[in-house]
Structure 1
Amino acid sequence: MAGLAGPASVIRDDRGVPQIYADNATDLFRVQGYVNAQDRFFEMDVRRHVTAGRLSELVGSNDDALTADKLVRTLGWREVATKEYEQASESTRSYLEAYAAGVNTYIKGRSKSELSVSYSVLERKNKLGDIEPWTPVDSLAWLKAMAWDLRSNYDEELNRASAINVVRNADRIAQLFPEYPYDEHATIIDGQAAAGNQTGSGTKGNAGGNNGNAGGSKADGGTEGDAKTGTGTDANTSDSTSTEDASASLVPTATKTTQTTKTSTTAENVADVYSSQAAQDALTSANKALQSLPDVVGSSSEGNGSNSWVVAGDLTETGLPLLANDPHLGVSMPGVWSQVGLHCNTVSADCPFDVSGYSFAGLPGVVIGHNARISWGLTNLAPDVTDFFLEKVTGDTYQQDGKTLQLTTRDETIKVAGGDPVTIKVRSTKHGPLVSDVLSDVAEAGKTSPVPGEKVLRSTSYGVALNWSALTPGTAMDAILELDVAEDFPSFRRAVTKLDAPAQNVIYADVDGNIGYQAPGRIPVRGTGDTQNQKVPADGTWPQIGWDSRYDWTGYVKKRDLPWVENPQSGYIIAANQAVTGPDGTAQITSDWDYGYRSERIKDLLDKAHAEHPITVDDMREIQNDTYNPIAEMLVPMLLEQKTDDFTQSAVDLLKDWDFTQPTDSAAAAYFNTVWAKLLDLTFSDELPEGFKPDGGDRWFEVVRELMKQPRDEWWDDGRTDDVVETRDEVLRRAMTSARLELTQRLGKDPSKWRWGKLHRVTLEQTPLGGDDVPDLVSKLFNKGPYEAPGGSSIVNAFSWDASGDFSVTAAPSMRMIVDLSNLDNSRWVNQTGVSGHPWDKHYDDQVSAWLKGEDFAWPFTADAVKAAKDEEQTFKPEGS
């Protein structure tokens, strides 16, 4: 290999997982690039086309691909990645360059068909361009895709705004976005005091999130404070208070005055802003554009969560910590993660890497895993880092504070395989790019109907700008590479706080017995809005008013104020997307948390296991595969109280002795989940707009749990029935009967023969060769499944599905790992598919069966263990040696 300074080797086990050894760090990453290209170059190439807005160059003329390209060009992912490369540390740039050189060594001289049979399939439709050399920016652009798919609550923001046009009552919409149940479900940091204060034996932490700071960022010339002490100069120096809660300005819900009244009074302040045709058209255009991107990491809908937890040695069999992680992302072929080990033959300051875990093909380093001293896991923190701003746009100008401002513009040309290029004009306000411009019909949207009190300006329409903190160049790549070589909790925190996007919950354990947690992220501080005449909440839960600067962002939360904890009294830390701290400490992060059903179940199972014996690796695995459905515990007793006909009752009887778990062979799970989908449809679909339907996840668990206490709430009434006003029990009975009829048609008349796995199935598809329009021969070659799947939405074993669609899996555990800090070679791992992206390779899908069954494999780490597990070895020498 040209460019190598010394010899290197790659040892693969019987699943093809590469463990890479070299004498220096640049050689290590050069070989990692070569190996990733060898295993998955087509996947890497698809990713860089997506992240550069060039998917049409691969797939040809396709409306969805073109819209996706327009959106990515509008957001400017590639430009942000270029700036991130320019400002990265010297070592990070050198590692990115070495990685790119390794990729290019592999692809040089190989035809497209030699690199992947996928190219051959695509070229049957259109002639493709030459394979381009890999660059460091290609790697960094993937971090924008990660941040995009884990961006948090923009769906909730748009859903609130679209629903007000139909529901016309802000308090009723608020019922669909309930507050986090702090009295029911524990937070990640439970009751921690100010930074560094002792709250119990050995416990240090910071509840965080209370203080904001105005002004730029590190990229604007500031220096970041030390993660441990909070000393140093933050680039954003002036504090501001947390965002004012504007919910008090909303008009209360009117009660239903008669049994035939189907509407409630208008919430004037909110409805008048969002229900105008101008606003609705612009928001619809923006939403359709944003949904156009392929789910390159995972869907932003239900299921895009994760589980992680760490247990201190006082509670374990070995006396040292155990750490578990399973991120829930979209399913694909191959899976999103690539397993790898990176080992310097002699660990030193010049070659500090001895790390193993999960990375992304196309990215140097290890994203999740462990080194010789520490281990870490990631789950989505889901901070509110995006805001939509309604903008008054006229031509190439827009309004703010009574002034006319000029849009910034640039032209982008999109090449289309087999077709003519498409040129678009990207327009931006101070709040960000106008994503509503992506769809061609937006120019005609909303030229009338301004907000109340303003003249009709027929030359003015609304645009929707997206303010997203990840569009400011960040330091995520520095964070990943520094995390790979961290040795203790302070160095771990210094690395993690550079992970500005995507912001993650990061749990920690080390070989000295310490456990911990750190929340990173560039999290905006919002203005207070118009406190005298608050038209809409200014807290980021609804699209903001762009023409009033009081709604603008004022800065970012300081790194030293982000929540963290070390060695809590409880002896464990659970981070499963629930609230981080109590309501006072987390106001700056988001208002739209996961509601804590998975985290609470994990807590209960840890407590139960520890009550019986010291916690083991087997206990951690059993928890990862738990299929208990938390909403069933509340809902089933009420279903059993209903009186039904004999035909329906034969299905209801399945629930009498059900333990609420959902293995693939469960008849009760098949019936309950069908009832659940019917219940949501009957209760909400009559009023909610297209694009905002109940997906059945944890938020809907909480919505229904609260509604069950109000049997005559207006939501129970089905607006599709003119002569009947339904109550809770009537809706329950109709859902039970309808579910019985559907399953009779789909699975047969005998309920005892029903199986959850016959409905709930997962199909693994390769982008862009999946989907219904692909020929059967191609589909059978590249795509795998459908397979029966256990679990369900907001269940620990989270094979999620969308209750507004069908029972097909939309997201799932993308991998699972359990790290034993007493003996790293005793750790376990499993991937969703296999390490290879070549459909004829034996490692293309050789982990699928174990993944579905909840099994895992040995994870050798030390040199002796890796050699003992060796199946084959590649050796590399400097060119000419």
Structure 2
Amino acid sequence: MVDGSSSTDDSPAATPQDGTRRGFRSWSGALRWMAGIAILLVLALVAGLVTTVVLVRRPWPQTSGELEVPGLESEVRVLRDDAGIPQIYADTLHDLMLAQGFVHAQDRFFEMDVRRHATAGRLSELFGEDGLESDLVVRTLGWRQVAEQELTMLRPATRSALDAYAEGVNAYISDRSPSEMALEYTLLGLTGLDYTPEKWSAVDSIAWLKAMAWDLRGNLEEEIGRALASAAVGPEAVDELYPAYPFDRHPPIVQQGGLLGDVFDQDVASAGTELLQRPAPGGRRTVAALAGIRDVLAGVPALLGKGDGLGSNAWVVDGEHTSTGSPILANDPHLGISLPGVWAQVGLHCRRITSDCPMDVSGFSFSGVPGVVIGHNRDIAWGFTNLGPDVTDLYVERVAGDLWQSGGRALPMTTREEVIEVRDGEDVEVTVRSTDHGPLLTDLVDVDEELDALEVADDGLVEQVDDVAGAALDAEEAGWDVGVSLAWTALEPHPTADALLALDLATDWDSFRAALADFAVPGQNVVYADTRGHIGYQATGRVPVRRAGHVGRAPAAGWVRSTAWTGRYVPYDAMPNVLDPDSGIIATANQAVIDPRRYPLRLTDDWDQGYRSTRINELLAADDELSVDEMAAIQLDDWSAIGQALTPYLLKIDLPAGYYSDGQRLLRTWNYRQSADSGAAAYFNVVWRELLQRTFADELPAALEPDGGDRWFTVVSRILRRSSNHWWDDVETDEVERRDDILRDAMMAARDELTALQSPNADEWSWGELHELELRSATLGESGIGVVEWLFNRGGWDVAGGSSLVNATASDASEGYEVVTAPSMRMVVPLDDLDAARWINLTGVSGHAFHPNYTDQTDLWARGETLAWPFTEEAVADAAEDELTLTPDS
């Protein structure tokens, strides 16, 4: 429950519903109060270019010479190559972690500062009421409180690393003014923000893991989507819109083994069991509450990205499939696009490997978190893809005041008070209420207002009342109201941070698996290779064991005690894993982990449909002499499965000769590849978008419009075979449309669209011109002020690939064609020669606008190129362009 200090119309911060209507879709929203910056900047430019250059360059890091850094025990060397990537050398683990914190702060402190405000529910302190919607959700979920609890659970070595890292960050910010740390602080200061950053703490680092878990949380959107779709088109149609995983066509990750008691054994077989799903609570008030919650949750800043485009590719092959006879591992996580990018490349090297200083690792880190998340050390390499286990459940609750019903009893909710400070506004007081299942999300929603919106909306919503829904309505008559709570494993403290440090120090399969035992959220697929020639796979994450009849596919009745989680989790040793599989290939691309017929424990039902993974497996199996270059080329594969499935039907459509048949002419010679210069790919993707709109928009609410990703590949592929399937009919017309009617209209509309967007000459069309990559700063880059956005945003890259392709530069078909998620980095590691590894970042290591390393890797990334990735000390020294010595405080 939220209480502001004023209820007048000119106090929009008073209720969270106003924030929902505004739609906080980035960290800063509109930032209307920044309009004056544009005038000030223009005056500054007119007054003198030199002044402007000084302001821009003032925060840039010193990368050569010497710097005194308080807290160091001995000298630390920081070598940077021409991409600015730091390789850090120290004598102790304490100094190594401290130096990493210092270097991260040099390159990206503003990003780190905004992230910790976001994860603490304190964006409003920096950005005013535009940050309020996000803060309300984060405070309700209690990310910061969970992080504080987790800090007390960590191993001493992990705690020491976090504290040393924080020392380094604080050493950087202690003697610098905000304008010396980021241009963004200078501009915010011009708006009147009087701000001095607080000291960094270990909790600031741990809280980032909560944000990572939130963005990769699994099937919460599908759970809400099924409920809304059931209300719109009926429960039977939901199975068509959310199809089961096609195990017969797309093999899972692990294709051998099963459970032997509570332990997964790769050499045994195991039969599965089928769980039945209880009906979800229905009724218009429940539907209204879920629709409002969906909007509110969308307002949380996506620090890693959101939507069906989130995912990753990772694979590893053994020496039988490579030209060198040693394993090669590849990884490219598909995350939201941002500037700076998600990853900060770094090398962390103890000068002498000892028990006191055992680290020698290089890879991709998160600014704000010590260590390397993905990469390799001198013994092993690893990569991540999102497992996406079902670790969230929504519960429709019966509530009355601060009471909720469970098993026929009225129980008190737990409550806590939060106060959100709002820049240039009054504080907002929040009462967070929770049932035994979790926090009550409906306290962030005006259900009556949502209900009124449903009453007048022409979006096809109809009332679905089953037995459980009838019970809900009876409860309302007895004085109970509808609430919705969230159960989520990430709200239960667990020492996930232990896993990251232990992973960096792992030396073989056993220590690798032991490190991942603490990796609770978000659940991941982790591929492995080592210098001894072994390859492997391990599934991670705390997955709740649910009672029979409740499988988490739709919101559950919270007042029915048997729907509650059992309090047990899938044992780590029971999670699927395999070492040196018979095939010699392990490919993960968010597909199903294992066939349920051999594995009875339920991880989720909402897997990626498997188009990327099947393509990857085919390409890997076709070559027994794979090289680093060939593995990198597979990462760029832009072959379209839906292109192959749909194009034959498009070629059979009878179109008027000439103008409207030009696109069809391009398709006749199309190889189903979506290269940036392909006119056929441009035409196909516009047809695809038009087809989705014309087939489904007449029956689904706007919130469920097709985004064109892997689920829709399956949905459309299935109905293509039936020309009179009910989805083809437009219910808003008097006629009964069939498949070919929709295809013809989509093709003709696509021709008109491309004429308007690109050229009347079909030979001048190109997919890349439609499918552009625009990198935007999530804070001031979304200010709405042209000159401010010009300072921080970069764009205009024409890129290949597309949604649910191996080169997964996804767009959202409900919005347009621009890239919304993409490979956030690419890496390929040969285990026989670590200096021959290759890597690339979506942006660059620097978070400072106009710095040479701000977007210097993006041009290479867009062309599919990579950088050399030196690892040994000699190779790093040969590649070094700058050397900075950090010395203890005299």
Normalising by structure 1, report the TM-score. Answer: 0.89
Cα distance in 2, alignment partners of residues 433 and 874 from structure 1 = 48
Q: Which residue of 2 aligns with 1:412?
A: 418
Q: Which residue of 2 aligns with 1:473?
A: 493
Q: Which residue of 1 aligns with 2:784?
A: 774
Partner of 2:545: helix, strand, or coil? Answer: strand
Cα distance in 1, alignment partners of residues 777 and 885 from structure 2 = 30
In structure 2, which of residues 639, 658, 663 is the aligned counterpart of residue 651 of structure 1? 663
Cα distance in 2, alignment partners of residues 121 and 458 from structure 1 = 56
Over 3 Å counting, the alpha-carbon distance change for 1:861 and 1:444 in structure 2 is closer
In structure 1, which of residues 121, 125, 138 is the aligned counterpart of residue 187 of structure 2? 121
Cα distance in 2, alignment partners of residues 196 and 285 from structure 1 = 43
Cα distance in 1, alignment partners of residues 579 and 260 from structure 2 = 11
- Mapped contact 2:525–2:537 kept (Cα < 8 A): yes
1:594 aligns to 2:625 (yes or no): no
Q: Which residue of 1 aligns with 2:641?
A: 630
| Percent of aligned positions that are identical | 48
In structure 1, which of residues 20, 24, 34 is the aligned counterpart of residue 88 of structure 2? 20
Q: How far apart are residue 735 of structure 1 and its match?
A: 1.0
In structure 2, which of residues 830, 838, 843 is the aligned counterpart of residue 820 of structure 1? 830
Q: Which residue type is aligned with residue 614 of structure 2?
A: E
Cα distance in 2, alignment partners of residues 207 and 809 from structure 1 = 42
Q: Which residue of 2 aligns with 1:562?
A: 575
1:792 aligns to 2:792 (yes or no): no
Farther-moved stretch of structure 1 (509-518 vs 427-436): 427-436
How is 1:679-758 mapped onto 2 (pairs within 5 angstroms)? 679-721=691-733, 723-758=734-769
Q: Which residue type is aligned with residue 880 of structure 2?
A: K
Q: Which residue type is aligned with residue 828 of structure 1?
A: R
Q: How far apart are residue 245 of structure 1 and its match?
A: 2.0
How is 1:290-439 mapped onto 2 (pairs within 5 angstroms)? 290-299=297-306, 301-439=307-445
> Number of residues paired by the alignment?
805
Cα distance in 2, alignment partners of residues 845 and 384 from structure 1 = 36
Q: How far apart are residue 587 of structure 1 and its match?
A: 4.9
Q: How far apart are residue 378 of structure 1 and its match?
A: 0.2
Q: Residues 604-637 of structure 1, C-alpha deviation per residue, up to 9 Å, x if partnerless? A: 1112233xxx110111011001111111111101
Q: How far apart are residue 129 of structure 1 and its match?
A: 2.9
Partner of 1:346: helix, strand, or coil? Answer: coil
Over 3 Å counting, the alpha-carbon distance change for 1:456 and 1:465 in structure 2 is closer
Partner of 2:703: helix, strand, or coil? Answer: coil
Farther-moved stretch of structure 1 (567-576 vs 710-719): 710-719
Cα distance in 1, alignment partners of residues 477 and 416 from structure 2 = 26
- Mapped contact 2:223–2:552 kept (Cα < 8 A): yes
Cα distance in 2, alignment partners of residues 304 and 745 from structure 1 = 31
Q: How far apart are residue 444 of structure 1 and its match?
A: 8.5
- Mapped contact 1:686–1:719 kept (Cα < 8 A): yes
In structure 2, which of residues 221, 244, 247 is the aligned counterpart of residue 179 of structure 1? 244
In structure 1, which of residues 451, 462, 465 is the aligned counterpart of residue 469 of structure 2? 451
Partner of 1:123: helix, strand, or coil? Answer: helix
Q: Which residue type is aligned with residue 560 of structure 1?
A: D
In structure 2, which of residues 165, 177, 189 is the aligned counterpart of residue 99 of structure 1? 165
Partner of 2:569: helix, strand, or coil? Answer: strand
In structure 2, which of residues 140, 144, 148 is the aligned counterpart of residue 78 of structure 1? 144
- Mapped contact 2:773–2:797 kept (Cα < 8 A): yes
- Mapped contact 2:230–2:237 kept (Cα < 8 A): no
Cα distance in 2, alignment partners of residues 318 and 54 from structure 1 = 52
- Mapped contact 2:262–2:574 kept (Cα < 8 A): no
Partner of 1:28: helix, strand, or coil? Answer: helix
Q: How far apart are residue 48 of structure 1 and its match?
A: 0.1
- Mapped contact 2:638–2:674 kept (Cα < 8 A): yes
- Mapped contact 2:90–2:349 kept (Cα < 8 A): yes
Cα distance in 2, alignment partners of residues 426 and 206 from structure 1 = 48
1:660 aligns to 2:672 (yes or no): yes
How is 1:214-233 mapped onto 2 (pairs within 5 angstroms)? none
Cα distance in 2, alignment partners of residues 160 and 208 from structure 1 = 31
Q: Which residue type is aligned with residue 25 of structure 1?
A: L
Cα distance in 1, alignment partners of residues 571 and 777 from structure 2 = 40
Q: Which residue of 1 aligns with 2:33?
A: none
Q: Which residue of 2 aligns with 1:802?
A: 812
Cα distance in 2, alignment partners of residues 501 and 370 from structure 1 = 21
Q: How far apart are residue 157 of structure 1 and its match?
A: 0.5
Cα distance in 2, alignment partners of residues 130 and 67 from structure 1 = 24
1:642 aligns to 2:662 (yes or no): no
In structure 1, which of residues 595, 600, 620 is the aligned counterpart of residue 631 of structure 2? 620
1:836 aligns to 2:850 (yes or no): no
Cα distance in 1, alignment partners of residues 641 and 878 from structure 2 = 43
Cα distance in 2, alignment partners of residues 455 and 158 from structure 1 = 22
Q: Which residue of 2 aligns with 1:238?
A: none
> Which residues of structure 1 form unaligned runs of 5+?
211-241, 250-268, 530-537
Partner of 2:820: helix, strand, or coil? Answer: strand
**Which structure's residues are more often helix, by fraction?**
2
Cα distance in 1, alignment partners of residues 411 and 262 from structure 2 = 48
In structure 1, which of residues 859, 867, 876 is the aligned counterpart of residue 869 of structure 2? 859
Cα distance in 2, alignment partners of residues 128 and 763 from structure 1 = 32
Q: Which residue of 2 aligns with 1:260?
A: none
Q: Which residue of 2 aligns with 1:669?
A: 681
Over 3 Å counting, the alpha-carbon distance change for 1:123 and 1:419 in structure 2 is farther
Q: Which residue of 1 aligns with 2:523?
A: 503
- Mapped contact 1:39–1:837 kept (Cα < 8 A): yes
Q: Which residue of 1 aligns with 2:37?
A: none
Q: Which residue of 1 aligns with 2:585?
A: 572
- Mapped contact 1:834–1:844 kept (Cα < 8 A): yes
Q: Residues 21-61 of structure 1, C-alpha deviation per residue, up to 9 Å, x if partnerless? A: 11110110000000000000000000000000001111112
Over 3 Å counting, the alpha-carbon distance change for 1:208 and 1:744 in structure 2 is farther
- Mapped contact 2:288–2:447 kept (Cα < 8 A): no
Q: How far apart are residue 243 of structure 1 and its match?
A: 7.2
Q: Which residue type is aligned with residue 335 of structure 2?
A: L
Over 3 Å counting, the alpha-carbon distance change for 1:631 and 1:444 in structure 2 is closer
Over 3 Å counting, the alpha-carbon distance change for 1:444 and 1:188 in structure 2 is closer
Cα distance in 1, alignment partners of residues 719 and 365 from structure 2 = 43
Over 3 Å counting, the alpha-carbon distance change for 1:498 and 1:418 in structure 2 is same
Cα distance in 1, alignment partners of residues 387 and 713 from structure 2 = 20
Q: Which residue type is aligned with residue 96 of structure 2?
A: L
Q: Residues 176-209 of structure 1, C-alpha deviation per residue, up to 9 Å, x if partnerless? A: 111111111111011324469999xxx9468899
Q: How far apart are residue 420 of structure 1 and its match?
A: 1.3
Cα distance in 1, alignment partners of residues 289 and 610 from structure 2 = 34
Cα distance in 1, alignment partners of residues 780 and 573 from structure 2 = 45
Q: How far apart are residue 244 of structure 1 and its match?
A: 2.1
Q: Which residue of 2 aligns with 1:519?
A: 539
Cα distance in 1, alignment partners of residues 781 and 694 from structure 2 = 33
Q: Which residue type is aligned with residue 609 of structure 2?
A: Y
Q: Which residue of 2 aligns with 1:492?
A: 512
Cα distance in 2, alignment partners of residues 497 and 732 from structure 1 = 50
Partner of 2:828: helix, strand, or coil? Answer: strand
Partner of 2:885: helix, strand, or coil? Answer: strand
Q: Which residue of 1 aligns with 2:286?
A: 279
Cα distance in 2, alignment partners of residues 160 and 126 from structure 1 = 46
Q: Which residue type is aligned with residue 616 of structure 2?
A: I
In structure 2, which of residues 562, 567, 591 is the aligned counterpart of residue 550 of structure 1? 562
Q: How far apart are residue 459 of structure 1 and its match?
A: 4.0
Over 3 Å counting, the alpha-carbon distance change for 1:197 and 1:84 in structure 2 is closer
Q: Which residue of 2 aligns with 1:141?
A: 207
Q: How far apart are residue 455 of structure 1 and its match?
A: 5.3
Q: Which residue of 2 aligns with 1:239?
A: none
Cα distance in 2, alignment partners of residues 286 and 390 from structure 1 = 12
Q: Residues 218-268 of structure 1, C-alpha deviation per residue, up to 9 Å, x if partnerless? A: xxxxxxxxxxxxxxxxxxxxxxxx67223xx7xxxxxxxxxxxxxxxxxxx
Over 3 Å counting, the alpha-carbon distance change for 1:135 and 1:314 in structure 2 is same
Over 3 Å counting, the alpha-carbon distance change for 1:142 and 1:455 in structure 2 is closer
Q: How far apart are residue 162 of structure 1 and its match?
A: 0.8
Q: Which residue type is aligned with residue 837 of structure 1?
A: G
